[in-house]
Structure 1
């Protein structure tokens, strides 16, 4: 597949661009530690896997071909980001990321779920897989060959995105000691994180 190197480079550039996924992973790492960041990265890429499956099966086209469905998806995504922002602003201080207890595990599961939804409810990701992947497919393919090629490209994208997301999680965790440590710092960080989510929600609405 001669277009595979070009696709890998393009995917690397697109994944590196700031967006809700990147910001969610870094903020979760900074606030809740390395484990939370890694779990968030896995959740985001679970959402990517679902997007790839939907694109291969043609479900993404159903959304973009119906403006109302696409608008509903966009508003749901913005609403969920706003919900996350408000929740961060009113939450208690971050939990100990390395605590091995049931409440911590439950919280990690919630962070994973949130990451999946942040990705799934991002309409720009749907457009990405609908408009971007087909550009790297040769013409004249049978439907079966098209699905196979899309799966290969999707796997390449997923591998690149997961590697970068895990790097973001580690970077965010490395910043924890600098940005947290006192109740005042923790509260300021919560205000900053909540404000970022609300700002992203406003951008999606616009």
Structure 2
């Protein structure tokens, strides 16, 4: 109970951060519509695992190093922007798919699960805004007197909460009616997401 107030503040901050539109949301939306529910759920697991990366370096004290080293943070920012831009460009190159191509995509869906997980993991782990968020939590909200075990507990909670949130979105967005609507848009949907991802990459660099 000594850390209840601290936990509630972290939980509320995390909810608004994870619910706001960003690279994670855009990726889950794309995977849900284009690849289906299972793929999107695996992507969500990758995003949740990426959060553990941020928690790990914050708990270990690397957060202080990054916050005091503009060079390190700039490198992380450009790396994240490059990866988002890459995904966006690939989406912009999407072409109309006929029914046969869609059947092939469904049959090979299971083979893409490793890629789905890695996409989710990298998009979150390389997201500098996520870095800023966790730096803020672990340097401003969480007291230096809070035991490491409690801090790890906070991190595990945020990872699980992220998984639950994006899994919920995956289930909703991959429902047959919702998915059928977006599949009719086909390559136009992919290209739209591509523009969003490239825009996010540009924003990462310039903001």
Query: Does TM, scored on the shorter chain, surpass 0.5?
Result: yes
CA distance in 2, matches of 1:95, 1:50: 35
Structure 1 residues 108 and 130: alpha-carbon distance in aligned structure 2, compared to 1, 3 A threshold: same
- C-alpha offsets along residues 173-197 of structure 1, whole Å, 9 cap, x if unaligned? 132111114xxx2111121111111
TM-score between both structures, scaled by the size of structure 2: 0.85
Structure 1 residues 191 and 205: alpha-carbon distance in aligned structure 2, compared to 1, 3 A threshold: same
Maintained 8 Å contact 2:35/2:109: no
Q: What's the counterpart of residue 188 of structure 2?
A: 188
- Structure 2, gaps ≥5 residues long: none
- Structure 1, gaps ≥5 residues long: none
Offset, 1:81:
0.4
Maintained 8 Å contact 1:26/1:171: no
Aligned residues: 197
Q: What's the counterpart of residue 67 of structure 1?
A: 70
Residue 132 of structure 1: SS of its match in structure 2? helix
Q: Determine whether 1:55 maps to 2:47.
A: no
TM-score between both structures, scaled by the size of structure 1: 0.86
- C-alpha offsets along residues 8-52 of structure 1, whole Å, 9 cap, x if unaligned? 222222211111111111121111111111011001111011211
Structure 1 residues 131 and 7: alpha-carbon distance in aligned structure 2, compared to 1, 3 A threshold: same
Alignment of 1:99-178 (within 5 A): 99=106, 103-138=108-143, 141=145, 145-174=146-175, 175-178=178-181
